[in-house]
Amino acid sequence: MRRASPYTRHVPAFSFRIATTDDAAAAAALYARSGLAGAPASPAGFELMTQTGHAFLVAESGEGIAGLVRFHDDEGITWFDLLASTVPGAGRALIHAVIRGAQDRGIRLARSRVPDRFPLPEYFSRAGFLPIGRQAGPDSGEPLLVVERRLPLLTVREQRRADAAAIGGLTGEDPWVFEQGARPGWFVAADGDRVVGVICCRDGDAGLALISEPTLRDDYRGRTLEVWMIERAALYAETNGYHTAELPAAPSLGRLRKELEDRLWYLDGQRYVRAFRTPPSQFEDEDWD
């Protein structure tokens, strides 16, 4: 039996959420230990910031709050600062969580201002950020390095030949079929050039389109990408003359029911249904005069 390496580092799993005033005591204690300039080091200070438009993202582990970061969007750029953590790996996980949120909002750039001293520039470089300028710190006057990362665009697009292997890996379908060319009604969710999800729309006869349950990589679930994928398949169905579309009411879509209903899908037993137009009546062309 193979033994685990003694040098293997076990990184804890984190969950993420927006901070509330209930987190004031724990957040203030964390920031007080960090010594970050401009960070709220008292519960009252943290409560005031969360109540006046400052958004903080919390990383939680089994032992409670493991880290915090402040973020906001400004003219198509996501800025973040006040990054602090008490658990190894939480800081990097928070950065990636901020990036995922920016991508979900269609933002292509993420930036931060960090002290220009070791090891921070190297730390952000390993996270994919590049230096683009320097500014004076508003609180301390210390020179700050502005770092930036360009984010790949999340898209849902038609399947291409180059996607064949990824589609096969995600769905179990034979990649050879997709290597022959684009299959009508097949779409992929792509993070830049990487395929992370698949959905298809098949003919159900008599004007009915059958849309498959979206298939996504595990690390892309929970970001409402499924809704984007379903809407792209529904658009294909509508523009190709189908009057109704059906979608399996899979357990993975349970948390998305409101988002689907907002887009005119309704739950009918074990399926979601969306009508694009009323099917023509058999008496439609009769002369009633």
Mark residue 222 as left, alpha or beta (left: phi above 0; alpha: psi -120 to 50; beta: remaining): left
Burial string for 31-54 (b: 16+ CB within 10 Å, else e) reads beebebeebbbebebbbebbeeee
d(CA 248, CA 270) in angstroms, rounded, equals 6
pLDDT the model gives residue 190: 94
Residues of the chain with CATH 3.40.630.30: 15-150, 154-275
**Would you state the CATH architecture of domain 154-275?**
3-Layer(aba) Sandwich (3.40)
Q: What is the pLDDT of residue 285?
A: 52
Per-residue pLDDT, 1: 37
Q: Which of 17, 135, 203, 1 is nearest to 27 (CA)?
A: 17
CATH number of 15-150: 3.40.630.30
Tokens of 274: 């969306």
Structure-token pair, residue 61:
């582990």
Provide the pLDDT for residue 154: 86
In a 13 Å sphere around the CA of 186, the CA atoms on its Cβ side amount to 20
Please report where in the chains the tokens 């099917």 appear, as a residue.
279
Instruction: Write down the pLDDT at residue 281.
Output: 56
Q: Is 3 exposed, middle or buried (0-12, 13-18, 19+ CB in 10 A)?
A: exposed
Q: What is the pLDDT of residue 118?
A: 83
Determine the pLDDT at residue 104.
86
The pLDDT of residue 6: 37
Chunked into runs of 10 residues, the chain (289 residues) has average pLDDT values of 38 85 95 90 95 95 91 95 93 94 90 89 92 80 89 91 96 94 94 93 94 94 89 95 95 92 94 82 51
pLDDT in the model for residue 289? 47
**E strand spans, the chain:** 15-18, 55-61, 64-74, 77-85, 109-115, 130-136, 143-150, 154-158, 186-191, 194-203, 208-211, 215-216, 244-248, 266-268, 271-275
Q: What is the pLDDT of residue 58?
A: 96
